[in-house]
Amino acid sequence: MTKHVFLTGLPGVGKTTLIQKASDALRSLGVPVDGFYTEEVRQGGRRVGFDVVTLSGLRGPLSRVGSQPPAGRREYRVGQYVVDLHSFEQLALPVLKNADAGPSSGKRVCIVDEIGKMELFSQTFIHAVRQTLSSPGTVILGTIPIPKGKPLTLVEEIRNRNDVKVFHVCIEPSKWAQQYFRSAPCAYRVIPT
């Protein structure tokens, strides 16, 4: 039986936007929701990194182009981005721990956007995600990258769990969407994988 839902798709396709809209809809229905998402940081129209943003409004750097790790800390890098593991863990780990410590009555939803290369440098995060996936009272709504290159162990574990449904998000041109939204050049299409 499906308990957790994950979205996958190319970068920039709108996974985070869909997660945020789902989170807002759930909260408007009174469903307890907590979690975090990643957001691009741009300067002069150019992407310079990513921030981690909790649903309670806390924000911190996940990565930056060409930044240096703090003195005495190991450098974690994905392409041109240097990952600020300490900042990420300070924001993401309490959210995952709180998901398991909430009220025992009813289900809670934990937003985890995203479980990707940058986030997976943290062994503590990997452990916390596994624990949250196994928590009987918590449902994860999250994002994972599309398979590319070397498989990411936790991502493959998630894909292969019996209690997880993964949906592939893509954008396709749509005259209907253009007419309906008047300015939208495309519509989301969510495909079960």
> pLDDT tens string for the chain (193 positions)?
889 999 999 988 889 999 999 999 999 999 999 999 999 999 999 999 999 999 999 999 999 998 777 677 788 999 999 999 999 999 999 999 988 765 555 689 999 999 999 999 999 999 999 999 999 989 999 999 998 889 999 999 999 999 999 999 987 545 444 444 444 444 445 555 5
Query: The CATH number of the domain where 153 resides is what?
Result: 3.40.50.300
CA dist., res. 23 & res. 25, Å (int): 5
Position 178 scores a pLDDT of 45
Position 172 scores a pLDDT of 59
Element (H, E) at 158: helix 153-160
Position 186 scores a pLDDT of 42
Q: How many structural domains comprise the chain?
A: 1
Position 181 scores a pLDDT of 43
Element (H, E) at 70: none
Position 184 scores a pLDDT of 40
Position 176 scores a pLDDT of 41
Position 187 scores a pLDDT of 43
Domain span at 18: 4-192
Q: Other CB atoms closer than 10 Å to residue 42's CB: what's the count?
A: 10
Cis peptide preceding 89, ω within 30 of 0: no
Position 102 scores a pLDDT of 59
- In the block, tokens 């989301």 appear at 188
CA dist., res. 10 & res. 144, Å (int): 10
pTM of this structure = 0.85
